[in-house]
Structure 1
Amino acid sequence: MTDFILYSIKSGLCLAIFYGFYQLVLVKETHVKRNRFYLLTALVLSFVLPTINFTLDHEQLAKANQFVWEFENSVEDQLQFSEPNIAEGFSFSYRFWICFFYVLGVITILGRFIFNLVSIFKIIRANEIKKEGDLNLIYLEQAHSPYSFFSYVFLNPSILSKTENKQILLHESIHSKQLHSIDLLIIELFKAFFWFNPIIYLFKNALVEVHEYCADQACIVDATNKISYQQCLLKHVESKMNLNLTSAFKSSLTLKRIKMIKKSNTSVWAHLRLILILPVLFVSMLSFNYSEIKSMNKEDKTIPAGRHFMMPIKASADVRMTSPYGERMHPIKKKMLFHKGIDIAAPQGTPIYAIADGQVKQLQMKHVEGKAYGRYIIIQHDGGMASLYSQMSRYNVDLGQKVKKGDVIGYVGQSGISTGPHLHLEVKKNGENVNPADFIDFTSLKRN
């Protein structure tokens, strides 16, 4: 969920940059075919660019920078999922409601999209089709503006003169030949999955405008034709609107179309203005997706020696270390076993902090209360390092979330095998358990 929200923000910013450039630089120019290509390309790039990651100094990933914790088959370590706590796993948190309203929006937009498609095909099947060149003409009795969908043109010939009929058929044939209906289908699908982004609606309006400009431009062959064409536009300005998946001869942008028709052709040198988008696009791509990955192997020197990670729990009178790393007497089994981490006893609900910057790689939701590790988090760090925090009472992060050193990631509890509220912390380097005390200064903690 966190990754999708971050992706949506990035794609939304890309859309805003592309749309802002279009409105500031391109919208008033008569190179309408180029503008159509720009809008379609910008739409696709806005949703592709945030998924691309640009890396520098990428040499070799550690063979064991692996964050699948291999739990031993002991009663203490084995994770058991026989009867998951459904009530707790399916809590109506804010994430649930975000997902619920997002899916509801997708279903609503897709439902309307499918309904409009079905309506168009119903009209096609219910009426006689007359072939004229590459067009399939469907004559309707309703008094509305002519419109087209791929090669199908819907019109009422009784309200059109012979000249108007000719102009309209030419106009709609341009929509058909230039495949404007495909553009509308594509942007409707994007709109269905990103319905919450207001910029995508502006993109659709801009694309519909460009479609009309393209068709108008192809219909005007001389000055006399230009005047009669404008008169035809004005005559049908009060007509009823059509389905939103079709290209209409009339639309609410009639005045803009007339202004565009009257404009002198823009110089071909105006194409060079597209170069202006390149530096803006380059900076956006780097700021969204730049990351640096260096070699991380057994001899990795990116992790400096010494204790540079922070304490997972702030020291206080109520906080103490109850079990160190290494051989110890197991508090429940009453025999010597190797302890792969450290235990820090603290009051229930005490905040737990990320010991270093990293990303949440595992978040255990289906734990069994009182067994194994309980609720636990695994965080991946740089340099082949990873940390595990278990026995939590609740989480404060999401799966995949990036965290900073010192961020609160959860709270102390006793959700697994435990004799009282505590944090069990483990640290791995290159896939091997290491002593957390080699990286964290625990000298401020009281010890049992």
Structure 2
Amino acid sequence: MTDFILYSIKSGLCLAIFYGFYQLVLVKDTHVKRNRFYLLTALMFSFILPLINFTFDHEQLAKAHQFVWEFENSFEDQLQIAEPNLREGFRFDSRFLICILYALGVVTILGRVILSLVSIFKIIQANEIKREGDLNLVFIEQTHSPYSFFNYVFLNPSILSKTENKQILLHESIHSKQLHSIDLLAVELVKAFFWFNPIVYLLKNALVEVHEYCADQACVVDDTNKIDYQQCLFQYVESKMNSNLTSAFKSSLILKRIKMIKKSNTSVWAHFKLILILPVLLISMLSFDYSETKSVNMENKTIPAGHDLKLPIKASVGVRITSPYGERMHPIKKKMLFHKGIDISAHQGTPIYAIADGQVHLLETNYVEGKAYGRYIIIQHDGGLASLYSQMSRYNVKLGEKVKKGDVIGYVGSSGISTGPHLHLEIKKNGENVNPADFIDFSSLKMK
């Protein structure tokens, strides 16, 4: 769901760039066929470009910094804890609500499209149809302005003069030949799945305008014809279009259409305006998905063995190592199992320190008292190093907080499965468990 939201944001920004360029640079040109192609291409590219990956990865750095703690292979599995969904119970998830709202929007828009199609086919079946050239004329009794859907033209011949009928049929035939209905269906489907994006609606309105300009341009051949055609347009100022899926001889665009008819033809050099969008588009593409990671000299970043990290608990009376890293007798199961960390026994409430500078990567809030790790923290360090501190009685840091070596991050407890208060410490290097004793000097702590 997060990926889809991110994709929707990227595609929306891309579509906004395309649409803004159209309104600022192209909308007033008389090259209407080019504008139609531009709008359709903009719609297609806006949903393709965010899918293109411009990321350049360097394996060496990726391994060091893309750290994931694999719990399925960790100490937690050895404790035979209850299933997470049983111990957590039901929790309200806002993502579920977002999914429901999104699905309702999709179903609503698709439902309207289906109902519009059904309505059109019912009108076709219920009325007289006459074949004229490549068009099927559907004679209706309603006083709607004439409209078309593919090669079907819907009109009321009783309210049209012979001249008007000829001009309207020519107009609607252009819609049919240029397949404007396919454009409208495609936009409606896009709108169904991206109904929350206002730019989609604006682009559809712009596309409908261009459709009308294309048809008008083909109908007007000379100055005399322009006058007659404009008069014909004014006859339908009060009429309404039948459906969002049809191309209509509609009234809401009358003034814009007349201005476009009167306008002098734009110079052919205006096509070169399209070049202006290339740098804008390139910047947008790179800002969406481009990221370059520089090579890192891992020798300088690696923390070598040799006890360079701080003890997580200060040496004092009662502090001792009760279970080392490696094969050991499990205190609960009473059989030999591999222990991926070190257990340090201490009094309840003893401070726990960060072994190195880093950032709190995970802070468990859904723990179950007496189960598994209990309260635990994972801190991400430089050099592909990460540390886990579990069995805490309480936290002293927040998720995402940056900590310094030696900062108190929490306090010893027995919040998970245990035989007494202690700290369970694990360290991972480049995603693999390592012996904490290779990095920390535990010589000051007594062994059990």
For residues 341 and 22 of structure 1, the distance between their equivalents in structure 2, rounded to whole angstroms, comes to 61
| Residue aligning to 1:399 | none
Contact 2:302 2:383 in 1 (8 A): no
Q: Per-residue displacement from partner, 1:420-445 (whole Å, max 9, x unpaired)? A: 89997755445532246878999xxx
**CA 379–183 in structure 1, closer or farther in 2 if over 3 Å, else same:** farther
Pairing 1:77-156 to 2, within 5 Å after superposition: 81=83, 84-85=85-86, 88=89, 90-156=90-156
Contact 2:238 2:251 in 1 (8 A): no
Pairing 1:159-198 to 2, within 5 Å after superposition: 159-198=159-198
| Residue aligning to 1:205 | 205
Selected match of 2:303 from 305, 308, 311: 305
| Residue aligning to 1:20 | 20
Q: Secondary structure at the match of 2:259?
A: helix
Greater helix share, 1 or 2?
2
Q: Per-residue displacement from partner, 1:375-401 (whole Å, max 9, x unpaired)? A: 9999999987788798899xxxxxxxx
For residues 154 and 288 of structure 1, the distance between their equivalents in structure 2, rounded to whole angstroms, comes to 45
For residues 48 and 381 of structure 1, the distance between their equivalents in structure 2, rounded to whole angstroms, comes to 37
Q: Per-residue displacement from partner, 1:107-137 (whole Å, max 9, x unpaired)? A: 1111111111111122122223211111111
How big is the shift at 1:256?
A: 0.6
For residues 173 and 209 of structure 2, the distance between their equivalents in structure 1, rounded to whole angstroms, comes to 17
Structure 1 residue 226 corresponds to structure 2 residue 226: yes
Q: Secondary structure at the match of 1:138?
A: strand
Contact 1:32 1:213 in 2 (8 A): yes
| Residue aligning to 1:396 | none
Q: Per-residue displacement from partner, 1:251-283 (whole Å, max 9, x unpaired)? A: 411111110111111111111111111111111
How big is the shift at 1:322?
A: 8.6
Q: Secondary structure at the match of 1:85?
A: helix
Higher mean C-alpha displacement, 237-246 vs 368-377: 368-377
Contact 1:356 1:404 in 2 (8 A): no
Contact 1:139 1:154 in 2 (8 A): yes
The TM-score, its normalising length taken from structure 1, stands at: 0.75
Contact 1:172 1:215 in 2 (8 A): yes
For residues 300 and 262 of structure 2, the distance between their equivalents in structure 1, rounded to whole angstroms, comes to 65
How big is the shift at 1:374?
A: 8.0
Q: Secondary structure at the match of 2:171?
A: helix
Contact 1:371 1:415 in 2 (8 A): yes
Contact 1:342 1:425 in 2 (8 A): yes
How big is the shift at 1:405?
A: 7.2
Contact 1:385 1:430 in 2 (8 A): yes
Question: Which AA in structure 2 matches 1:305?
Answer: I
For residues 44 and 422 of structure 1, the distance between their equivalents in structure 2, rounded to whole angstroms, comes to 59
**CA 236–431 in structure 1, closer or farther in 2 if over 3 Å, else same:** same
| Residue aligning to 1:340 | 340
Structure 1 residue 288 corresponds to structure 2 residue 272: no
For residues 41 and 358 of structure 1, the distance between their equivalents in structure 2, rounded to whole angstroms, comes to 45
Could you say which structure has the greater relative contact order, defined with CA pairs below 8 angstroms and 6 or more residues apart?
1
**CA 404–8 in structure 1, closer or farther in 2 if over 3 Å, else same:** farther
Q: Secondary structure at the match of 1:332?
A: coil
For residues 380 and 138 of structure 2, the distance between their equivalents in structure 1, rounded to whole angstroms, comes to 62
**CA 130–2 in structure 1, closer or farther in 2 if over 3 Å, else same:** same
Matched residues, number: 414
| Residue aligning to 1:398 | none
**CA 139–338 in structure 1, closer or farther in 2 if over 3 Å, else same:** same
Selected match of 2:78 from 76, 83, 96: 76
Question: Which AA in structure 1 matches 2:56?
Answer: L
State the identity as a percent: 72
| Residue aligning to 1:397 | none
Q: Secondary structure at the match of 1:36?
A: helix
**CA 378–51 in structure 1, closer or farther in 2 if over 3 Å, else same:** farther
How big is the shift at 1:181?
A: 0.9
How big is the shift at 1:94?
A: 2.1
What stretches of structure 1 of length at least 5 have no aligned partner? 394-402
How big is the shift at 1:178?
A: 1.0
| Residue aligning to 2:325 | 326
For residues 113 and 392 of structure 2, the distance between their equivalents in structure 1, rounded to whole angstroms, comes to 46
Q: Secondary structure at the match of 2:130?
A: strand
Q: What RMSD, in angstroms, separates the aligned Cα atoms of the two structures?
A: 4.8
How big is the shift at 1:96?
A: 2.1
How big is the shift at 1:291?
A: 2.1
How big is the shift at 1:165?
A: 0.9
For residues 321 and 107 of structure 1, the distance between their equivalents in structure 2, rounded to whole angstroms, comes to 63
**CA 337–262 in structure 1, closer or farther in 2 if over 3 Å, else same:** same
For residues 441 and 34 of structure 2, the distance between their equivalents in structure 1, rounded to whole angstroms, comes to 62
Q: Secondary structure at the match of 1:76?
A: helix
Contact 1:358 1:382 in 2 (8 A): no
Question: Which AA in structure 1 matches 2:269?
Answer: W
How big is the shift at 1:2?
A: 2.1
For residues 140 and 289 of structure 2, the distance between their equivalents in structure 1, rounded to whole angstroms, comes to 53
How big is the shift at 1:21?
A: 0.7
How big is the shift at 1:373?
A: 6.2
Q: Per-residue displacement from partner, 1:356-375 (whole Å, max 9, x unpaired)? A: 68999xx999x999665689
Question: Which AA in structure 2 matches 1:289?
Answer: D
The TM-score, its normalising length taken from structure 2, stands at: 0.75
For residues 191 and 389 of structure 2, the distance between their equivalents in structure 1, rounded to whole angstroms, comes to 41
**CA 326–177 in structure 1, closer or farther in 2 if over 3 Å, else same:** same
What stretches of structure 2 of length at least 5 have no aligned partner? 394-398, 404-409
